[in-house]
Amino acid sequence: MTDTGTRAGTDTDSDAARGHSTATLYEASSSYTRVCTPALRAVWSGARVAGPAFTVQGVGGDNLALHRAVTEAPVGSVLVVDLRGAAHGHWGEILAVAAQQRGLLGLVVDGGVRDVAEQAQLGFPVFAPHVTVVGTGKEHPGVFGVPVRVGGVVVRPGDLVVGDADGVVVVPAAAVPATLDASDARVADERRALAAIRAGVSTLDLYGLREQTGHGS
């Protein structure tokens, strides 16, 4: 269903995914929508992000590419950074504040971050597999605008990236309109289903599952 209870990205008029949850996007268009590994998750409760990917290929243990990306990424984009899963604190409060000042929507990174409490207070959405205080160097400028692999999924510039409490999904740019329309339809169907359940209809009857239980009427 549509995610309306998050602390960030809840305005469906400006949300690039129309407020749809990762689960809805996947179920509505599983042939297009790609799911990142479950290890890639929100680092603070209630985080949500939805927007076009600005891709960054960096070097694990070094965050110069992230400093550059905050300066160069377009307003309204999501930083999607491949650091090969390195467990270093590549991103923290300083970069989060800088990113907010630049109008960036959030960070999805295959690597470590830190300053989680501060970023939660800022309301800046961060999705990562590691939280660690280990510091980084600043020597490698990185490469922007290339396909990267994050959470086991290849992400290309402009792909729609959505993260929430259930994980992170990626919708190829060309498939976004059809996926969002299918998600709208799925949410409408689920609302009708919930109304029926609240009226007393069982899920077995609603979804035609009774015969499969061996206790068909």
Q: How far is CA 20 from CA 164, 166, 209, 215, in A?
A: 10, 12, 27, 36
184 shares its domain with 168? no
Q: pLDDT grade, residue 7 (50/70/90)?
A: very low
Mean pLDDT of the chain: 93
CA–CA dist 126, 151 (Å, integer): 14
Enclosing domain of residue 168 = 22-173
CATH number at residue 72: 3.50.30.40
User: What does the pLDDT look like over 55-82, one tens digit per residue?
Assistant: 999 999 999 999 999 999 999 999 999 9
Number of domains in the chain: 2
Checking if the pLDDT of 217 tops 90, the result is no
Residue 7 belongs to some domain of the structure: no
